[in-house]
Chain A
Amino acid sequence: MAVKKRSSAGVKAKTVSVYLYADEIQERRPVLLFTAGQIDEVLTKAEIQAVPFASEYLLGLCAWREQVLPIMDLVRFFGLSSSGKDEGARYLVVRTVDTLSPGSAENIHSEKVLQRCVLKVSDQIINGDIPADCEVIYPKQAGFAPVFVRGLFRREKELFILPDIAAIIHSNSLGGAE
Chain B
Amino acid sequence: MKKVCLVKGGNFVLGIEARYILSRRHGMLPHETAGKEREIFHLGSLLARKHCEHPEPGSVFLQLHKGENTFFLLVDQVIDEIELPEQTTRLPPPSPELAEQLCPQVAVCMNLVVLLLDPAQVIPVARQLGQGIGLLAAEHWSQPPVPVDSAARPPAKGTKNDSGAAAPNRRIRKNKKRPKSVDEETFKRVMAWTIAQFKQGKVGAEHLAADQLPPGLVQQEGVSDTVLQYLIDQISLRCQESITPIQPGEQHGG
A residues in contact (CB < 8 Å) with B: 47, 49-55, 58, 60-63, 66-70, 72, 168-171
A62 touches B92 (CB 8 A): no
* Nearest neighbor of A58 in chain B, beta-carbon distance: B94
Q: List 27 A-B contacts (CB under 8 A).
A: A47-B112, A49-B13, A49-B113, A49-B115, A50-B11, A50-B12, A50-B13, A51-B91, A51-B96, A51-B115, A52-B12, A52-B48, A52-B99, A52-B103, A53-B47, A53-B49, A55-B94, A58-B94, A58-B95, A58-B96, A61-B115, A67-B108, A68-B89, A69-B92, A72-B94, A169-B93, A171-B94
Q: Which residues of B contact A52 (CB under 8 A)?
A: 12, 47-48, 98-99, 102-103, 115
B89 touches A170 (CB 8 A): no
Q: Given the complex of chains A and B, what is the CA–CA distance between A54 and B103 in angstroms?
A: 12
Whole-angstrom distance from the CB of A63 to the nearest CB of chain B?
Answer: 5
Interface check B4, CB cutoff 8 A: no
Interface check B40, CB cutoff 8 A: no
Of all A-B residue pairs in the complex, the 6 with the closest CB atoms, nearest first, are: A52-B47, A49-B113, A53-B98, A63-B108, A53-B96, A61-B113
B49 touches A49 (CB 8 A): no
Known: A52-B12, A52-B47, A61-B106. A68 touches B113 (CB 8 A): yes
A47 touches B47 (CB 8 A): no
CB contacts under 8 Å to A, within B1-35, are 11-13
Known: A52-B47, A61-B106. A170 touches B94 (CB 8 A): yes
Chain A CB within 10 A, most for which of B47, B49, B96:
B96
Q: Interface size of B by Cβ–Cβ distance < 8 Å?
A: 24
B residues in contact (CB < 8 Å) with A: 11-13, 47-49, 89, 91-96, 98-99, 102-103, 106, 108, 111-115
Q: Which residues of B contact A72 (CB under 8 A)?
A: 94
Whole-angstrom distance from the CB of A96 to the nearest CB of chain B?
Answer: 12
Known: A49-B13, A52-B103, A68-B106. A62 touches B113 (CB 8 A): yes
* Nearest neighbor of B9 in chain A, beta-carbon distance: A52
Q: Which residues of B contact A47 (CB under 8 A)?
A: 111-113
A170 touches B47 (CB 8 A): no
Q: Which residues of A contact B108 (CB under 8 A)?
A: 63, 66-68
Q: Which residues of A contact B48 (CB under 8 A)?
A: 52
Chain B CB within 10 A, most for which of A52, A58, A70, A72:
A52
Known: A52-B103, A68-B106. 12 other contacts (CB 8 A): A49-B13, A51-B91, A53-B102, A54-B95, A58-B94, A60-B113, A61-B91, A63-B108, A67-B108, A68-B92, A69-B92, A170-B94
Q: Given the complex of chains A and B, what is the CA–CA distance between A51 and B114 in angstroms?
A: 10
Q: Which residues of B contact A67 (CB under 8 A)?
A: 108
* Nearest neighbor of B89 in chain A, beta-carbon distance: A68
* Nearest neighbor of A61 in chain B, beta-carbon distance: B113
Q: Which residues of A contact B115 (CB under 8 A)?
A: 49, 51-52, 61
Q: Which residues of A contact B11 (CB under 8 A)?
A: 50
Q: Which residues of A contact B113 (CB under 8 A)?
A: 47, 49, 60-63, 68
Q: Given the complex of chains A and B, what is the CA–CA distance between A52 and B93 in angstroms?
A: 13
Q: Given the complex of chains A and B, what is the CA–CA distance between A68 and B12 in angstroms?
A: 17
